[in-house]
Amino acid sequence: MFYSIRHVTRFQYSSPVSESVMEVRMRPRSELLQQCLKFELHVTPRARVQFYRDYLGNTVHYFDVPGQHNRLAVIAEAVVEVEAPRDIPEAVPMAAWDALDAMSASGELYEFQTASHFAQPSAELHKLMKELRVARRENPLTLLRGLTEKMHGAFEYAPQSTRVDSPIDEALVSRRGVCQDFSHIMIAMVRGLGIPCRYVSGYLHARSEQESRAMTLATHSWVEAWIPGIGAQQQGLWVGFDPTSNCVCGDRHIRAAIGRDYADVPPTKGVFKGRATSELTVAVRVLPTDAPADDREELVLLPAGNSGSSPLADQHWEQMQQQQQQ
Amino acid sequence: MTMTGDAFARRRFPAPFENYELGEPFDEMFHASGTSRPYYQGIYDFLQELPAEELRLHKQAADQTFLHQGITFTVYGRDEGTERIIPHDLLPRIITAQEWGKVEAGLEQRIHALNLFLRDIYHEGRILADGVVPREIIYSCKHFRREMRGVHVPKGNYLTVVGTDLIRLPDGEFVVLEDNLRVPSGVSYMLTSRQVLKRIFPKLYQACGVRPIDHYGQALLATLRNLSPEGRPEPTVVLLSPGVYNSAYFEHSFLARQMGIQLVEGRDLVVHDNIVYMRTTSGLRRVDVIYRRIDDDFIDPLSFRRDSILGVPGLFNAYRTGNVTLANAIGTGVADDKALYAYVPKIIKYYLGQEPVLQNVETFLASDPVERRHILANLDKFVVKAVGESGGYGMLIGPHSTREQQEEFGRKIVEDPRNFIAQPTISLSTAPCFVEGGNIEPRHIDLRPYILYQGERSVIVPGGLTRVALRKGSLVVNSSQGGGSKDTWVLN
Amino acid sequence: MDMLSRVCDSLYWMSRYLERAEHTARVLEVHLGLQLESFSAASQRHWQRMITSLGLEPPEGLSDPELVQWVCFDPSNRLSIVSSITFARDNARQVREHTSSEMWEQINILFHHVRSHAVQEDWEGEPADFLRSVRDGAHLFQGITDSTMSHGQGWQFIQLGRYIERVNATSLLLDHHFRHFEAEGAETINFEEHSEWIGLLKSLTAFEAYCKVYTADLKPARVAEFLLLSGEFPHSIRFAVDQIDTVMRALPEAMRPAGNRPARLAGKLRAMLGYTQMDEIAPGGMHDFLEDVQRQCTQIHNAVQRVYIDYPIDAAVEA
């Protein structure tokens, strides 16, 4: 599937501010079954946009607006091609748990196995795990499929019920939340089971009325869990689960950035100088589109300065990413 | 040769040493037999001839100088922002050329290995893949900066200024107690106490043949300039301080003056299009190298702690791009983690294929179940340290502790094993100190030399900060805990 | 070496706050002295006028001694003497390595001195003694500054702060005084008012200097001329403006848009005061004249901030 994405973010300040500095994580990732064919970022007031790739392969754009301004707009436009994964089985053998424990002991995916800023275990979380009977009783993949469904059933999607910086306990108690809460709660549970799990920030092409409702926040998020023994050469795969939409991710989920949780990959993150409050409005449109007419070349963005080094750090990481591509 | 404690104690010394007791620890001035070590003979004779009153006057004069020069540290928790002089002892501590040679070689080797280690864990992670250092110890360290993964730092030098704490074992051997790889402080005390001592004991100083340390400022500046971003042959170097309310502000201002560079705060700097500038009355001036005395957490509110008002928004991205150099690099604290310390000998061997010149103190990790059991069974004998603390806080000194304290630490260790290590209690060496009442008595000391890392080789000015536990019998030398300083004389 | 904007700003404010503390102490001291000799309703009005001419807005219902306490010590009064000296010291502390140690020592002594008085619950000290010690302390600081600190850019900003504050404070004081007496339309001074005119001169340490020029014969027009236009007397407005202009000539002209604005504004104000004759100020026109001086002075302050201290980054980068 080809999609065109237009993501408009506007900040309106209560009084003039200056020296805004901002990072943007919106560019769809290019890897495996997803390729970003075109990406443009427009900023008003005019600013020189630079970018880098972090070690997880996320593209981070950044810029600063030194002069006085009352508003700031960031418009991202992308064309992306997504294919659905074909090789995800219904279940994996119980022995997959041993592989997960071995992975755990090696510490390779340490950051996706321990608590993070928003994905913290708590008494409320354990209560929910008990209630949903989340335990290593079945194989990891079946368990995760079931958990996605249970999450969907146990929580009500309620826009604006929580703020971006709400701890998960708020949603755990009220059983209402937005996609971020769904994702954070699921991440905390999955990591608690000893399965590496990460947060994905991105876009969803909604097919139904119900799904568009889930998109009122415009951007979407879901989780990816590491399942050993599947994929090409049984090297294991990151499989996406979307507890908000109750599905395993296919060709409607467009991945922009991955991290431990929302705190690592907010679509925009910035600071400014001035005594002002800011009001944020976001609009996102994801439309199926035809394949771009001719060139599949991306818009060439000049890299900032001389940071020519590999964005991928730990060699194991690099290998894992490549294996996924096969 | 062994001697009983009584045999030490019974030995009588002439005034003003009549209360001097020798014990198990290595004494810097005296052999166990009670005779002066040859290189201390000059001082020993000098002190015996010096009228007690004169020593007291010297001490007063020195205190005055420290106060007038503003060689002070700020005491926290008072709105007055009171400044105190750092307690210091007049009598110099002497290190022979031969001993220093080994210290120098050992530090050069150790810091080089630690720098290679930092480069490795923030890039390929070979040492982790090879299982020499467990990944968990790195990734769970609160000073590990994932943002630094894959970031290129100029010349691959993560470390620039290092202060390593050494102690002397009873057999006289120097061993490493702690590496300080983030923003080590105290070098201003080393430099100013030398100035004061030269003024007070000029003849003695000359007679001993002491190696100079005055070039530290120039050497530091040269080291920093050497890290200039590509294409900036005449770099502007600044020192970034958290400001006047920081306890080490005197040192920041002192070093900036020594180097003739601007002392800036975060609010003086601004980043535009990835370039760092400082605001001057004649306009924006580009900044190339920042000797930062601010912790990682506070350096850039965009990338690290959002609530930091000390930092500069966008600085980290300018740094990542290579348009400005930070010294030390971000994320070096992972290599002075107290748990990682135990692995340093292996790290030296791994990268350099050499045996460590300077040994570690034997260290047990509470995160290892077997070692934890050993620690818990011997809490009355060990020194237990919280991994995340510094400055002598969060420490249990087993032999000097109560049962309740031991039990409390036992509970803490079980709760959070990754956060604790234990080492056998070592009696730091003792050196003669001028005490209240005009006598000279032994007090425990350590040594913190300052290393300016420049790649394979380092500049280490001969000397360092000798820290003294001024309370009798105390082993805690940290200035926040009643410690003081001494001038350190490395002989030609 | 270039001076950091922040450092110059701190030196500027240190100096302004100290000038303000000194001014308040001086005016209050003189008027407390006057009060000893009068007890009429006029004296009460005069007291009120003095308070407002210091730019103060005290809370309702304070007795006279309470009011003195409030002006001297109240930390909630941001313009109290103790507040001003605290702000001055805070600024000095930020830039210790740019001042001489003698300066720091003196401002510290002054700070501890006023604070030791301020912390007493029921202050029963003699206000005049206290006010004189503040005045002396501030004078000493200025003397120490001029004789121990290099007269470079930092010192220029200290000068600037002192004289901008002086123009502001003095013109406010004159404005309130002349507004009151112009309303009464007198060209000579009657006996009852005599002490108030002496008070005005004394609160600007101008009485002796005035007498040397005009003898002790007080005439409103002459007092006005002396305090506004004397080119030699340090507390006259013209003198202070001359100093501001001198500073502007000493500072490097910034290579930025409007970089010469501070110097232009200072030159303009200097010329205005240098070439104005008393008879050109329309009868009853003192207020407008002084307001104009204050407005121009504020413009200079803003221009200095905009060009040297808090300039917009975008313009500076392009320059």
The beta-strand segments (E) located in A124-246 are 156-157, 176-177, 197-204, 220-227, 237-242
The region that residue C32 occupies, defined by phi over 0 for left and psi between -120 and 50 for alpha, beta otherwise, is alpha
SS (H, E, C) C124-186: CCCHHHHHHHHHHHHHHHHHHHHHHCCCCHHHHHHHHHHHHHHHHHHHHHHHHHHHHHHHHCC
Q: Which of A248-252, A265-269, C31-35, C50-54 has the lowest mean pLDDT?
A: C31-35
Residues of B with CB under 8 A from a CB of A: 122-126, 128-129, 134-136, 139-140, 146-147, 149-152, 230, 270-274, 301-302, 306, 313-314, 317, 320-323
Measure in Å the smallest separation between the Cα of A273 and chain C Cα atoms. 12
Based on its alpha-carbon atoms, the radius of gyration of chain A, rounded to whole angstroms, reads 20
Q: Report how far residue B214's alpha carbon sits from residue B203's, in angstroms, rounded to the nearest whole number.
A: 18
Q: Which residue has the tokens 């530091």?
A: B220
pLDDT at residue B182 greater than cutoff 80: yes
C313 to A67: CB separation less than 8 angstroms, yes or no: yes
Based on its alpha-carbon atoms, the radius of gyration of chain C, rounded to whole angstroms, reads 20
Q: Report how far residue C209's alpha carbon sits from residue C219's, in angstroms, rounded to the nearest whole number.
A: 15
Q: List domains and CATH numbers for chain B.
A: 97-193+208-355+450-490 (no CATH), 362-424 (3.30.1490.270)
pLDDT at residue B393 greater than cutoff 80: no
Q: Report how far residue A34's alpha carbon sits from residue A162's, in angstroms, rounded to the nearest whole number.
A: 31
Over residues C185-206, the pLDDT tens digits come to: 666 777 778 888 999 999 999 9
**Closest Cβ–Cβ partner in C3, C255, C317 for B272:** C317
Q: Which residues of A touch B123 (CB under 8 A)?
A: 309-310, 313
Residue A271, CB-side half-sphere exposure with 13 Å CA sphere = 18
Q: Report how far residue A229's alpha carbon sits from residue A288's, in angstroms, rounded to the nearest whole number.
A: 33
pLDDT recorded at residue C118? 76
Measure in Å the smallest separation between the Cα of C18 and chain B Cα atoms. 19
Residue A165 neighbours by CB distance under 10 Å: 9
The chain-wide mean pLDDT, for chain B, equals 90
B67 contacts chain C (CB < 8 A): no
Minimal CA–CA distance to B169: which of B27, B37, B35? B27
Distances (CA, A) of B233 to A286, B226, B229: 49, 9, 8
Residue B197 neighbours by CB distance under 10 Å: 22
Measure in Å the smallest separation between the Cα of C306 and chain A Cα atoms. 13
Q: Report how far residue A11's alpha carbon sits from residue A14's, in angstroms, rounded to the nearest whole number.
A: 10
Q: Which residues of C touch B273 (CB under 8 A)?
A: 317
A316 contacts chain B (CB < 8 A): yes
**Closest Cβ–Cβ partner in B122, B273, B320 for A52:** B320
Q: Are A162 and A170 in contact (CB under 8 A)?
A: yes
The average pLDDT across C284-290 equals: 90
C119 contacts chain B (CB < 8 A): no
pLDDT recorded at residue A306? 30
Q: Which residues of C touch B283 (CB under 8 A)?
A: 254-256, 311, 316, 319
Q: Which of A84-93, A255-264, C84-93, C150-159 has the lowest mean pLDDT?
A: A84-93
Across the A:C interface, residue pairs with CB atoms under 8 Å apart total 12
C318 contacts chain A (CB < 8 A): no
Q: Are A309 and B152 in contact (CB under 8 A)?
A: yes
Measure in Å the smallest separation between the Cα of C257 and chain B Cα atoms. 12
B68 to C96: CB separation less than 8 angstroms, yes or no: no
Q: Are A146 and A139 in contact (CB under 8 A)?
A: no
pLDDT at residue B384 greater than cutoff 70: yes
pLDDT band (50, 70, 90) for residue B476: confident
A50 to B317: CB separation less than 8 angstroms, yes or no: yes
pLDDT recorded at residue C117? 82
pLDDT recorded at residue B320? 96
Q: Are strands A176-177 and A156-157 parallel, antiparallel or unpaired?
A: parallel
Minimal CA–CA distance to B124: which of A315, A126, C23? A315
Pick B11 or B301 by higher pLDDT. B301
Residue count (chain A): 326
pLDDT recorded at residue B79? 45
User: DSSP string of C245-291?
Assistant: HHHHHHSPPPSSTTTTHHHHHHHHHHHHHHH--GGGS-TT-HHHHHH
**Closest Cβ–Cβ partner in C5, C93, C94 for B280:** C5
User: Residue A40's beta-bridge partner residues?
Assistant: A77
Q: Report how far residue A85's alpha carbon sits from residue A240's, in angstroms, rounded to the nearest whole number.
A: 10
C274 contacts chain A (CB < 8 A): no
The average pLDDT across B295-307 equals: 90
**Closest Cβ–Cβ partner in C2, C93, C94 for B285:** C2
Q: Are B421 and B452 in contact (CB under 8 A)?
A: no
Read off the pTM.
0.89
Q: Are B208 and B489 in contact (CB under 8 A)?
A: yes
Minimal CA–CA distance to B190: which of B447, B421, B418? B447
The region that residue C268 occupies, defined by phi over 0 for left and psi between -120 and 50 for alpha, beta otherwise, is alpha
C105 contacts chain B (CB < 8 A): no
Q: Which residues of C touch A68 (CB under 8 A)?
A: 312
Residues 6+ apart with CB under 8 A from A172: A122, A124, A125, A127, A128, A185
pLDDT at residue C41 greater than cutoff 80: no
Tokens read off for B290:
């920042």
At position A131, the amino acid (one-letter code) is E
Cis amide bond preceding B478, omega within 30? no
**DSSP for residue A264:** G
Distances (CA, A) of B335 to B134, B182, B343: 13, 9, 10
pLDDT at residue B4 greater than cutoff 70: no
Q: Which helix (H) or strand (E) holds B333?
A: none
Pick A292 or C23 by higher pLDDT. C23
Angle of helix C127-148 relative to helix C5-35, nearest 10 degrees, comes to: 150
**Closest Cβ–Cβ partner in B243, B260, B279 for C4:** B279
Minimal CA–CA distance to C313: which of B314, A19, A273, B316? A19
Q: Report how far residue B213's alpha carbon sits from residue A21's, in angstroms, rounded to the nearest whole number.
A: 43
Q: Which residues of C touch B256 (CB under 8 A)?
A: 97
C153 contacts chain B (CB < 8 A): yes
Three-state secondary-structure class, residue B378? coil
A313 contacts chain B (CB < 8 A): yes
Q: List domains and CATH numbers for chain A.
A: 2-82+267-313 (2.60.40.2250), 96-263 (3.10.620.30)
B257 to C8: CB separation less than 8 angstroms, yes or no: no
Q: Which of B154-168, B445-459, C35-49 has the lowest mean pLDDT?
A: C35-49
The average pLDDT across B128-138 equals: 93
Q: Are strands B364-365 and B382-386 parallel, antiparallel or unpaired?
A: unpaired
B5 contacts chain C (CB < 8 A): no
B251 contacts chain C (CB < 8 A): no
Neighbours of chain A (3+ CB pairs under 8 A): B, C
Q: Which residues of A touch C314 (CB under 8 A)?
A: 66-67
C2 to B263: CB separation less than 8 angstroms, yes or no: no
Tokens read off for A186:
């699921």
Residues 6+ apart with CB under 8 A from B51: none
Q: Are C196 and C176 in contact (CB under 8 A)?
A: no
Mean pLDDT in each 10-residue stretch from start to end of chain A (326 residues)?
A: 94 95 97 93 96 96 95 96 90 95 91 94 93 93 96 88 79 90 96 97 82 64 94 89 93 95 94 91 89 50 32 27 26
Q: Which residues of A touch B317 (CB under 8 A)?
A: 23, 50, 52, 62, 304
User: DSSP string of B241-294?
Assistant: ---TTSTTHHHHHHHHHHHT-EEE-GGGEEEETTEEEEEETTEEEE--EEEE-S
The average pLDDT across B26-44 equals: 94
**Closest Cβ–Cβ partner in B264, B267, B282 for C254:** B282
Q: Which helix (H) or strand (E) holds B174?
A: strand B174-180
Q: Report how far residue A255's alpha carbon sits from residue C312's, in angstroms, rounded to the nearest whole number.
A: 39
Residue B426 neighbours by CB distance under 10 Å: 18
Give the start-to-end residue ranges of the domains of chain C.
1-149, 150-319
**Chain A residue with minimal CA distance to C310?**
A18
Minimal CA–CA distance to B238: which of B262, B270, B268, B271? B262
Measure in Å the smallest separation between the Cα of B323 and chain C Cα atoms. 16
**Chain C residue with minimal CA distance to B278?**
C4
For this complex, say whether ipTM is above 0.90.
no
pLDDT recorded at residue B424? 92
pLDDT at residue C8 greater than cutoff 70: yes
Residues 6+ apart with CB under 8 A from B186: B163, B251, B448, B465, B467, B479, B485
A169 contacts chain B (CB < 8 A): no
Q: What percent of chain B has pLDDT over 70?
A: 93
Over residues B242-259, the pLDDT tens digits come to: 998 888 888 999 999 999
The average pLDDT across B209-218 equals: 96
At position A47, the amino acid (one-letter code) is A
Minimal CA–CA distance to A284: which of A229, A180, A205, A228? A205
C313 to A68: CB separation less than 8 angstroms, yes or no: no
Q: Report how far residue B49's alpha carbon sits from residue C118's, in angstroms, rounded to the nearest whole number.
A: 52
pLDDT recorded at residue B83? 60
User: DSSP string of A80-131?
Assistant: EEE-------S---TTHHHHHHHHHHHTTTGGGTS--SS----HHHHHHHHH
Q: Which of B35-44, B387-396, C172-181 has the lowest mean pLDDT?
A: B387-396
pLDDT recorded at residue B56? 87
The chain-wide mean pLDDT, for chain C, equals 89
pLDDT recorded at residue B1? 40
A307 contacts chain B (CB < 8 A): yes
Minimal CA–CA distance to C262: which of C296, C223, C224? C296
Q: Report how far residue A182's alpha carbon sits from residue A196's, in angstroms, rounded to the nearest whole number.
A: 17
C319 contacts chain B (CB < 8 A): yes
User: Residue A305's beta-bridge partner residues?
Assistant: none
B150 to A50: CB separation less than 8 angstroms, yes or no: no
